[in-house]
A and B are shown apart, each in its own frame.
Chain A
Amino acid sequence: MAPQVIDVCAVLRSAVNQNYGNLLTRDTGMAVRHQIERELAANREGGITSLDFSRIGMMDYSCADEVVAKLLVLLQNDDLTRGGYVVFCGIGEEHLELVETVLEHHGLALVCLCEDGHPQLIGRVSEAERRAWEMVRVRGHAAPAELADEFGFGEDFVAEVLDELLRRRLVRRGQDAFLALDVADTVQ
C-alpha cells in the first residue's frame, strides 16, 4: 500500500507540460487543480491525501485561489461519503501568509502539516471549532460526549461543532467518533 501523496510540483509540470517550479497565474492554477481533482477522484475510498507543496518556489494569489481555495470549496460541496480529505504539507512559512489571506477571503480553512510535523489548522474558523479540532487532534479520535466536560458546553453543542468541522473536511467521521486528519492515514 503506497501512501497517497500528490507532489504539487510534479502535477504543475505535468499539467502545463513545462518545467515550471512556481505556482503562478490563474490559468496554471486551474490546470493544476483539475489534475489534482482527477487524482483525488481516483482515490476516494476514505483515505487522506497529502498535497505536498515543498518543491514549489513562488506562489501568487490568483494561482493559490485556484489551487487551494477552489479545491477546498469543491471538496466541501462534494458527498462526504466519497472521501476527499486533504492535508496540505510543505507550505513554507513564507507562503503561509498568502495562503491564509486566500482562505480568509473565502471563509475557508485547511489542515496543514507544519515543518515540526504537527498538523495545524489555518484559515477562518470559530473559536469553538478551533478548540474542538485541537481536542480531536490531541486524542486522535473523540466522540462529542467525551469532549463535552472539557469543552464546558453540552454534548449537543459539541456535536454541532464537530459536524461543522466534518462538513468542512477538517476532521473525519469514524464508526463512533470523529477522527483527526492524521497523515499516517494516507496509507490506502
Chain B
Amino acid sequence: MNVITVPSSLDDQSFEQVLEQLAPLPADARILIDARNTGWASPYGLTALLTLGQTRLEKPQLIPPEKDDTASYWSRANFFRYAEELFDIKGKVPTQRAASESGTLLEVTPVSRSDDVHTVVERIQAKAAHILTQNLHLESRAVLGFAMALSEACQNIVEHAGRGGWVAVQNYNYRRRMGKHVVQIAVCDAGVGIRQSLESGNRRPLTDRWDDAVALEAAVIQATSRFPEHGRGQGFKGIRGYLNKWQGKLAVRSGTARVAIVPPWDDDVVRRDHLAPMPGTQLFMMIPERVDR
C-alpha cells in the first residue's frame, strides 16, 4: 500500500504535493490517502481530491481528517457524499447536516450536464449577490459577471471534459493572509484535459512546440477552442475579462502545466511546466474584496 500524505493545509498550491507523491505510481497502484493531519481545505483542495479519486483504476483508501471541526466541515461541504463512491473511507465520517456555514456559497456540487450549470447558478445567485456586494464591496453588476464566469467555467466540463467534475465556492475572511475578504471558486474534472481536447478538434496551433503548457495558453489566453466555429472559445476570454475588472485571479491546471492570470496583489507564477501529471482540467478563481472605495 502506498501512503499519500495530504498536507495540513490543502489548496491549489499544496495539492501539488499530493500529485508529486502520486507521480511515480501507476494508475492501478493501491494507494491510501492520509488526510488525518489536514486541518484546512479550500474548495480547490476538496474538488481536486474527488477528481483524483476518479483517476485511479484501483479504488483508493482515504483516512478523513482527525480534527472534528475539519471533518465536520468536509461533511457539510458535501465532500464525503461524493467521496464515498470514489474512496474506500477508513474511519468515521461525521453525519452530514445541512450546510450552515455563512461563507459557503456552494457546497461541492457535481457537474456533468448543461442542466447542472443552471442548477449551480440558480442556487448560488442570491447568496452570491449578498456576499459580493456586502463582503467584497463590489458593484451589483459584478454579480452578473460572477454568474457568467461560474457558468462558463462549469461549461468547460460539460463541453470538453468528456466526464463529470465538481464545483465548489467559498467566501473567506482572509484578515491575516490578505487583510480582506475573498471568494474562491474551484471547478475540477478528470476528463481529457485541454491538450487532448484541442487535438481532438485538430485545433493544435502551428507551433514547433506542443505540450500541455502551450495548449493551456492557447485555450486560456488565446481563446482557442476545439470547435472551429467563430464564437467558440470566448468563455475563458469572458472569465479573464471579469477577473481583470475586479482584480481577481485565475489559475488553470491541465496535464503537467499550469497557467495563471496574476493580479497585482498576488505573487503566483504565471506559467509552470513539468508538474506532476494530473488528468483533466482544474480551474481556480479568486475574487478579492475591493479596498479602493
B19 within 8 A of A: no
For B235, the chain A residues whose CB sits under 8 A away are 60-62
Interface size on A, residues (CB 8 A): 27
Within 8 A of A (CB), among B100-159: 114-115, 117-118, 121-122, 125, 140-141, 144, 147-148, 151-152, 155, 158-159
A44 to B121, CA, bound (A): 36
User: Is B158 in contact with A25, judged by CB distance below 8 angstroms?
Assistant: yes
Which A-chain residue is minimally distant from B122 (CB atoms)? A22
Chain B 252-267, CB-CB to A under 8 Å as 1, else 0, gives 0000000000000000
User: Is A70 in contact with B125, judged by CB distance below 8 angstroms?
Assistant: no
Of A80-88, A95-103, A119-127, A170-178, the segment with at least 4 beta carbons within 8 Å of chain B is A95-103
User: Is B122 in contact with A20, judged by CB distance below 8 angstroms?
Assistant: yes
B162 within 8 A of A: no
- Contact partner of B114 (CB less than 8 A), chosen from A28, A59, A93, A101, is A28
User: Is B152 in contact with A60, judged by CB distance below 8 angstroms?
Assistant: yes
A173 to B137, CA, bound (A): 50
Interface size on B, residues (CB 8 A): 24
Interface of B, helix, strand, loop or mixed by DSSP:
helix
A18 within 8 A of B: yes
For B144, the chain A residues whose CB sits under 8 A away are 58-59, 94-95, 98
User: Is B155 in contact with A58, judged by CB distance below 8 angstroms?
Assistant: no
Which residue among B118, B147, B230, B234 has the maximum number of chain A CB atoms within 10 Å of its CB? B118
A42 to B70, CA, bound (A): 59
A182 within 8 A of B: no
User: Is A105 in contact with B230, judged by CB distance below 8 angstroms?
Assistant: yes
- Contact partner of B234 (CB less than 8 A), chosen from A57, A59, A65, A93, is A65
A to B CB contacts below 8 Å, 11 in the list? A22-B121, A25-B151, A27-B114, A27-B158, A58-B144, A61-B235, A94-B141, A98-B144, A98-B148, A105-B231, A106-B231
Q: A18-B115, A69-B231 are in contact. List 6 more A-B contacts (CB 8 A).
A: A25-B155, A58-B121, A58-B148, A61-B237, A62-B152, A102-B231
